[in-house]
């Protein structure tokens, strides 16, 4: 199949969905009230609660929810064929992910900008709030520690990205200062900032920097420590100083990358060489239910509810902006995931140069990279497949491959760093909310709670002395993340039921996610048990039990609500 036709079908589908189903949800289900007073104004403190232009906030929200998720997930799932991947990205984003994100923003805004986990105390009960926040803390702990490692790995893979990524910080600080202190136009300044960024990209291409071994620590360990220190600073600063402007710049980077890929597809329109459906790839787990866990960002992801109700709801200036940011942001991420599928399924087949100089094309190039599950599932393999495929497509625009690789390296690191920054800030909120509920006053302080967030991630990363300790727990994250999506939809569903609003539009996705990801968790627990991995088996079983407990409590409340109606 021609990749251009696929891209057009999916993109048109998202545009139609935004203007039909998104509008329906806005008017009939979430009943958006443009006159409602928002937490960003009502609780404005110019630290976390800051009324923000919806286009600027879209940049923060989108870069935070995207990260590497819509790149890594589809780059693995393509081994089962491009049709299952595209169908899940298209319909999952429209009817599940975008509904989940939109609802999380709205409900949080109507509850003083509190996280979806904390809001569960009002909607369900305080026990569910505690269960939810403990699960969220565990998930974010893994994210922070693992993403520190991922960024360190990417810096080693793409040393040409080091200078551009770190020079983005002073550019973002200047952008924030000029927009908020000097009241200058954010659109013009955003364009100037991106131009400066691409100048640094050219510099980085020709001046790559490799981290040396310092004080007996490996380059990976040194980078992780630097990144955790940076994350502490970034997550305690007021959002408008660094977080917002940096994410705004990153959103422009993403738009540029997506435009380049789209133009490349338009000009080159490579043929999809990946199999349409491959139900039995070598050594791979079953397509069902694992594809719904492997492709999270791009279709639906529980992490999105944490961003939507963690940072986004505290900055949203009006309820009517929630559709553009929440529903629109998820569809845009689905568009990115589609471009990733095309880059891997079609771009990779344009040319793959092996270490010995041999050049493969077509299905041979794809099959070499996706010969079996082990070959396709490593981080380096996933990133390499996307970067190689993207570079091949963008080369049709006469942009040198060397520059393209740097652009993609900076793009990957920037998005991973955005996810890490936002995850630390959200973890701070989670710790503060738990501290408030448990009357632990010192941990309600933003510096203390952020320190706990960073320290716990540091201990997880370095418990084995190497910095990659979080990889021990990483096999649990996919299922935990997707079960969080189901739980967030459960809270949204009960909220709608209490408002006497039809719940089928959130209840059906909720049941699907809880069932499919619960199934995936059971398969994981079985594997952990058979391999005698008692650490993962014990932790996974404990998390699964907490989630079952929360679901039972929630269902009992939902039954009472329905009977009273």
Is cis: bond before 493, omega within 30 of 0?
Answer: no
Domain that holds residue 228: 3-23+39-472
On whether the CB atoms of residues 565 and 501 are closer than 8 A, the answer is no
pLDDT at 133: 94
For residue 479, tell me if it sits in a domain.
Answer: no
For residue 482, tell me if it sits in a domain.
Answer: no
For residue 13, tell me if it sits in a domain.
Answer: yes
The candidate with the shortest Cα–Cα distance to 372, out of 280, 287, 283, 273, is 283
Domain CATH for 393: 1.10.4160
On whether the CB atoms of residues 301 and 337 are closer than 8 A, the answer is no
Quote the number of domains for the chain. Answer: 1
pLDDT at 103: 98
How many Cα atoms are found within 13 Å in the side-chain-facing hemisphere of 10?
31
Segments of the chain with pLDDT less than 70: 377-379, 565
Q: How far apart are CA 126 and CA 485, in angstroms?
A: 19
pLDDT at 284: 86
Residue 227: which residues within 8 A CB-CB, separation 6 or more?
148, 151, 152, 417, 420
Question: What is the chain's alpha carbon radius of gyration, rounded to the nearest angstrom?
Answer: 22
pLDDT at 370: 87
pLDDT at 216: 87
For residue 557, tell me if it sits in a domain.
Answer: no
pLDDT at 384: 83
Residue 465: which residues within 8 A CB-CB, separation 6 or more?
none
Question: How far lies 76's CA from each of 155, 167, 257, 300, 372, in Å?
Answer: 21, 32, 21, 16, 11
Q: How far apart are CA 339 and CA 10, in angstroms?
A: 10
Cross-strand pairs, 214: 217
For residue 135, tell me if it sits in a domain.
Answer: yes
For residue 500, tell me if it sits in a domain.
Answer: no
Would you state the structure tokens that stand for residue 422, as one six-digit string? 């936002």
For residue 400, tell me if it sits in a domain.
Answer: yes
For residue 127, tell me if it sits in a domain.
Answer: yes
């Amino acid at each position: 199949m021609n990749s251009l036709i696929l891209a057009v079908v999916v993109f048109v589908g998202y545009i139609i969905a935004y203007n039909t189903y998104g509008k329906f949800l806005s008017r009939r289900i979430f009943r958006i009230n443009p006159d409602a007073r928002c937490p960003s104004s009502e609780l404005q403190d110019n630290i976390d609660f800051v009324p923000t232009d919806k286009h600027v906030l879209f940049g923060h929200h989108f870069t935070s929810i995207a990260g590497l998720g819509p790149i890594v997930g589809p780059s693995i799932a393509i081994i089962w064929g491009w049709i299952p991947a595209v169908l899940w990205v298209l319909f999952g984003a429209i009817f599940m992910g975008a509904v989940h994100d939109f609802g999380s923003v709205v409900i949080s805004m109507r509850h003083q900008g509190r996280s979806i986990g904390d809001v569960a105390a009002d909607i369900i009960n305080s026990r569910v709030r505690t269960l939810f926040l403990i699960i969220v803390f565990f998930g974010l702990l893994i994210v922070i520690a693992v993403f520190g490692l991922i960024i360190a790995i990417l810096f080693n893979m793409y040393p040409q990205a080091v200078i551009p990524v770190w020079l983005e910080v002073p550019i973002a600080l200047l952008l924030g200062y000029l927009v908020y202190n000097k009241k200058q136009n954010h659109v013009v300044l955003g364009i100037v900032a991106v131009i400066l960024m691409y100048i640094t990209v050219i510099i980085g291409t020709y001046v790559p920097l490799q981290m040396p071994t310092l004080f007996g620590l490996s380059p990976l360990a040194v980078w992780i420590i630097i990144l955790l220190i940076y994350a502490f600073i970034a997550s305690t600063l007021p959002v408008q100083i660094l977080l917002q402007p940096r994410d705004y710049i990153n959103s422009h980077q993403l738009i540029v990358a997506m435009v380049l890929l789209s133009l490349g597809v338009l000009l080159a329109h490579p043929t999809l060489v990946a199999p349409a459906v491959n139900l039995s790839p070598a050594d791979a787990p079953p397509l069902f239910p694992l594809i719904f866990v492997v492709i999270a960002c791009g279709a639906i992801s529980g992490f999105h509810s944490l961003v939507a109700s963690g940072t986004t709801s505290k900055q949203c200036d009006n309820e009517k902006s929630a559709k553009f940011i929440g529903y629109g942001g998820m569809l845009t991420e689905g568009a990115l995931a589609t471009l990733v599928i095309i880059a891997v399924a079609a771009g990779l087949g344009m040319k793959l140069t092996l270490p010995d100089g041999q050049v493969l094309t077509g299905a041979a190039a794809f099959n070499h990279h996706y010969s079996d599950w082990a070959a396709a599932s490593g981080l380096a393999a996933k990133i390499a497949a996307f970067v190689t495929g993207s570079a091949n497509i963008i080369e049709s625009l006469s942009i040198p491959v060397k520059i393209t690789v740097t652009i993609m390296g900076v793009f990957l690191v920037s998005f991973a760093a955005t996810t890490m920054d936002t995850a630390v800030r959200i973890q701070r909120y989670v710790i503060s909310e738990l501290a408030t509920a448990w009357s632990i006053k010192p941990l309600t302080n933003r510096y203390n709670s952020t320190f706990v967030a960073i320290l716990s991630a540091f201990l997880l990363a370095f418990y084995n002395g190497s910095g990659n300790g979080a990889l021990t727990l990483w096999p649990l994250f996919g299922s935990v993340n997707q079960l969080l999506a189901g739980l967030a939809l459960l809270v949204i569903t009960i909220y709608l039921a209490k408002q006497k609003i039809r719940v089928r539009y959130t209840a059906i996705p909720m049941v699907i996610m809880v069932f499919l990801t619960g199934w995936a968790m059971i398969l994981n627990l079985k594997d952990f048990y058979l391999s005698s991995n008692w650490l993962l088996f014990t932790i996974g079983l404990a998390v699964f039990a907490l989630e079952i407990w929360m679901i039972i409590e929630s269902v009992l409340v939902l039954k009472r609500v329905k009977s009273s109606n």
